Amino acid sequence: MIFQKQYDELLNICKQITSNRQKLAKPKIEEKILKNVDINTSNADLLTHLIVESLLKRIDRKLLKNKNIYIQKFDIPQITLFYSMAEAVPFVFAAHELANQYIIKALGNSKAVTLFDIGIGKGLQIKNLLLMLKNGHTSLETINIIALDPDKQNLEEFRKSFDYIKGDSQFNLNYYPMCTMIESISDRDYEFIKEIGGKNIIINSAFTLHHTTHPLGDNEIRTNLLKKLAELNPLILTLIEPHSNHDTEDLTKRFHNSWQHFGNIFELIDESDIDISHKFTIKEKFFGREIRDIFGVSDYFRCERHEPYDSWLLRLSRAGFRPVDFLDVGIKLPAYSEYRVSEGLTRLNYNDTTIVAVFGYVCK
């Protein structure tokens, strides 16, 4: 989705803001804010509205000291919208399935394993993994799940599902919740993970690490975080991340990348069979919150900081990881999308553009 006129106008507005010509930018922003958006609003108009509405906060210096949108109190929790969004964006559940395939291949003939899941949410991916193991992995006897999530309610909801699964499982299942952010866990927490997991630790992070925050211009925090994870010497690290660059402090680049990324996602949503009002809710509420964070929150506090997959590849290498050497993973996707597999990386594409990347890496 380009829509060249709107793209050029918004790019010019971003240039004016970065060159301190806010007085020129403000009237152009205000004229593009729609009085009403609904199911009949085109993708280009809706995306334009969401971006300029957020940019107006920059002009009026009303930038928020935001916190992670997954722990804010909304009318509909963001994690609930996430699973609703997954009904329209096939790459979410497909990425979960790919990561689970990587994990099962890495298990080999292990009798015990500890899964450290970073940002478990309501645990749908892990429930599916346990089901896959139950149906096809006979050597496992014990599975420990260390579930990290900043939302206590998510951990409690997963516990209920876990207790149900445990009652119907041939495995010895143990659950260890950690209610915090990954960048906040202590050295003692890492020692606890080592004590529980021993030599058979698996680390999974699905749509989580791009939420980690860092000071302006600091490009090392995520690499150092990956280095801490590498010290756990996992059997495998599976990582699922959107492919775009919103981590830049250059507003024009951030706009360009957002226009392409969310424009493609809005078109991808339109390809689905769900109700049109559901499509609008996903665009305006779920992705709208992300867009408002990207443009309307102080750069010191933004949490939606997506990175391109090649940036993650570099970080993983510098942190002491290397790609797995098996390529025989596969999924079913709708005809309007595709995936491409290389060593340690599966790219999920739409319109010849990577939307989501799935990584399978081990320690060097």
- What does DSSP assign to residue 64? B
pLDDT of residue 81: 84
Alpha helices in 19-151 (DSSP H): 22-32, 43-59, 78-85, 91-107, 124-136
Q: Which two tokens stand for residue 202?
A: 């698996």
Report how far residue 350's alpha carbon sits from residue 262's, in angstroms, rounded to the nearest whole number: 12
Average pLDDT over residues 235-249: 96
pLDDT of residue 343: 94
Residues 6+ apart with CB under 8 A from 347: 243, 309, 339, 340, 354, 356, 357, 358
pLDDT of residue 3: 85
pLDDT of residue 161: 86
Chain segment 178-208, per-residue pLDDT in tens:
999 999 999 999 999 999 999 899 999 999 9
pLDDT of residue 317: 98
pLDDT-derived band at 219 (thresholds 50, 70, 90) equals confident
Asked whether the predicted pLDDT for residue 164 surpasses 70, the reply is: yes
Query: DSSP secondary structure string, 160-216?
Result: HHHHHHHHT-SSEEEEEEE-S-GGG--HHHHHHHHHHHTT-EEEEEES-GGG----T
Q: What single letter denotes the amino acid at residue 273?
A: D
Chain segment 54-112, per-residue pLDDT in tens:
999 888 766 555 555 455 555 677 778 888 899 999 999 999 999 999 999 999 889 99
Residues 6+ apart with CB under 8 A from 310: none
Chain segment 173-185, per-residue pLDDT in tens:
999 999 999 999 9
Average pLDDT over residues 17-43: 92
Lowest mean pLDDT among 4-13, 62-71, 295-304, 346-355: 62-71
Which residue segments constitute the domains of the chain, with CATH numbers given? 4-87+249-296 (no CATH), 91-244+315-363 (3.40.50.150)
Chain segment 126-161, per-residue pLDDT in tens:
999 998 898 876 789 999 999 999 999 999 999 988
Is residue 78 within 8 A of residue 289, CB to CB? The reply is yes
Nearest to 162 by CA among 148, 176, 151, 179: 176
pLDDT-derived band at 363 (thresholds 50, 70, 90) equals very high
Asked whether the predicted pLDDT for residue 342 surpasses 90, the reply is: yes
pLDDT of residue 2: 66
State the average pLDDT for the chain. 91
